[in-house]
Amino acid sequence: MNRSACRSCGAPLHHVFADLGRTPIANAFRRPQDAAGAESIYPLKAFVCDACWLVQIEDFHRPEELFREDYAYFSSYSDSWLAHAASYAKQMTADFGLDAASLVVEVASNDGYLLQHFKARGIPVLGVEPAASVAEAARRNHGIDTLQAFFGADLASRLRRQGLAADLLVANNVLAHVPDINDFVAGFAILLKPDGLATFEFPHLLNLMRLTQFDTIYHEHYSYLSLLAVEALLARHGLKVVDIAELPTHGGSLRLFVRHAAHDYPPSAALTAVRARETHFGLDRLATYRTFDQQVRAAKRAFLRFLIDAKEAGASIAAYGAPAKGNTLLNYCGVGRDFIDYTVDRNPQKQGMLLPGTAIPVHAPDHLFATRPDYVVILPWNLKNEIVGQMAAIRHWGGRFVVPMPCVEVL
C-alpha cells in the first residue's frame, strides 16, 4: 500500500482514525529461548478515507510474513465459533438447496472448521488457505481438499480454467486481512457462478466505534469495514449486496449476502435498515471518525486504573486467552508481567510460547487451578460467556473474571 492512498478507491489519505503506537505483529509468538533477542515492531496507525469511508492501517510487511507456516490461529479451538459454523452450514444448505451437484468454496478456510459441515452433507467443498499449519490440519483432521494459496483474481481465473465455479463462495473474517482488497473481490466476481451466492462476514465498524473496540486493530487487519465502504468496493467489481444479517460474533458482525449485480434482486428490509443506521450514526461524515482516538485513550486509562488498583491491593492477576486482540490491548497499554503473571489458552500451538511484545508466558488452562489467581482477565472478550462457563470453577477459591473491553467489568 502507498500509505498516502486508499487501498479501496485510491483517494488520498489525510485523516488519522486511531494511533496505537508501535507494536509487534499480534500473532508473532516467541519461544522462551528467543526472549533475549530483538523483536520487530511496527507503527499501528489507522486512517479513514473521506471519499469511500474505508478505515485502514498502514502496512509494512507482505502477507506471507503474517500468515506464516507456523501461523497459530486455529478456528476449531472455540466451541462457540464451531457452533456458529455448523449453524451457517445447515442454514445455507436448506435455504439455497445445496447438494452433491453444488460446490462450496471457502476462502481463508483455516483448519476446516466450516467446510467439514458441508462435506458431512455430501456437498463438494474446496478450501483456499495461505497458512501451511492450518491448511494441513484441514486435510489431516477433516479430509478437506485445501489449496495453500492467497486468493485473488489470478487464482480464481486458474480455477475457472480447471472447470470450477462456486455455487456458494464464503469469506468469513478474511476481507479485513487482505492488502489488495480490489484484487481479492475481483476473484469473487470471477469464481462465483452467474446465479451463485457469496457471503462475507466481518466485524462491523459501527460496533468497533460505538463500543471502543480498539483492540481489534492489529497488523493482520488491513481494513475495518462498514456496509457503506464494502458496498462501494463490491460495486466496483460488478457485485452487490442483496441481504444482510447482524451477528453477535466478534463483538458484533455483519454477514453480507452478495450476488452478481446483473441480477435484479431488490434490497431486503434488513439491508435498508443497516444502511439507515450507519447514516444515522454518521459513518458518512468525517467528524464522526475524529473523536475515536480520544475514546481509545480513555479506555486505556480505565484498564490501567483497574490493574494498578488491584496490584496495589496485593491481588494476583492472570489472563485467559492469547488472541491477536489481546496482544494489541496489552502492548498499547504497556501491560506486561509487572501486572499479569501469565495467560492460558486451549490451543497447544500457543502453549509454552511468549506473547509478542509483553513476553507474558502462555500455559494450558489447568495452570489457573494450580496457581489460583485472584483475577482472570478475559482477553478474547467476545467469547466471555463461553469462557466463564468453561472456567467457572475459579470461583471456588474466590477468583473473579475481568472483561477489559469495551469498559472494565469485574464478574
The long-range contacts involving 287-293, CB below 8 angstroms and separated by at least 24 positions, are 288/209, 289/15, 289/17, 289/48, 289/55, 289/209, 290/15, 292/17, 292/18, 292/209, 292/212, 292/214, 293/16, 293/17, 293/18, 293/19
Q: What is the pTM of this model?
A: 0.88
Report, as an integer, the average pLDDT of 216-240: 96
pLDDT single digits (tens) 265-313: 889 999 999 999 999 999 999 999 999 999 999 999 999 999 999 999 9
Q: How far apart are CA 37 and CA 313, in angstroms?
A: 34
What percent of the chain is predicted at pLDDT more than 90? 80
Residue 2 has pLDDT above 60, yes or no: no
Q: So what's the pLDDT on residue 37?
A: 87
Report, as an integer, the average pLDDT of 84-103: 94
Residue 78 has pLDDT above 80, yes or no: no
Report, as an integer, the average pLDDT of 81-87: 86
Report, as an integer, the average pLDDT of 386-391: 94
Q: How is the beta sheet containing 375-378 ordered, strand by strand?
A: 362-363, 343-344, 317-320, 375-378, 400-403, 409-410
Q: So what's the pLDDT on residue 72?
A: 46
Residue 348's SS3 state is coil
Instruction: Write down all domains in the chain, each with its CATH number in brackets.
Output: 75-283 (3.40.50.150), 292-410 (3.40.50.720)
Q: So what's the pLDDT on residue 207?
A: 95
Q: So what's the pLDDT on residue 111?
A: 86
Residue 173's SS3 state is coil
Q: So what's the pLDDT on residue 242?
A: 96
> Are 165 and 195 contacting, i.e. CB atoms less than 8 angstroms apart?
no
pLDDT single digits (tens) 327-370: 999 999 999 999 999 999 999 989 999 999 999 999 999 999 99
> Are 32 and 361 contacting, i.e. CB atoms less than 8 angstroms apart?
yes
Q: How far apart are CA 52 and CA 277, in angstroms?
A: 17
Residue 131's SS3 state is coil
Report, as an integer, the average pLDDT of 136-150: 88
Task: Give the pairing of strands 166-172 and 192-203.
Answer: parallel
Burial of 246 (0-12, 13-18, 19+ CB in 10 A): middle
pLDDT single digits (tens) 183-207: 999 999 999 999 999 999 999 999 9
Cell match 496489552: residue? 330
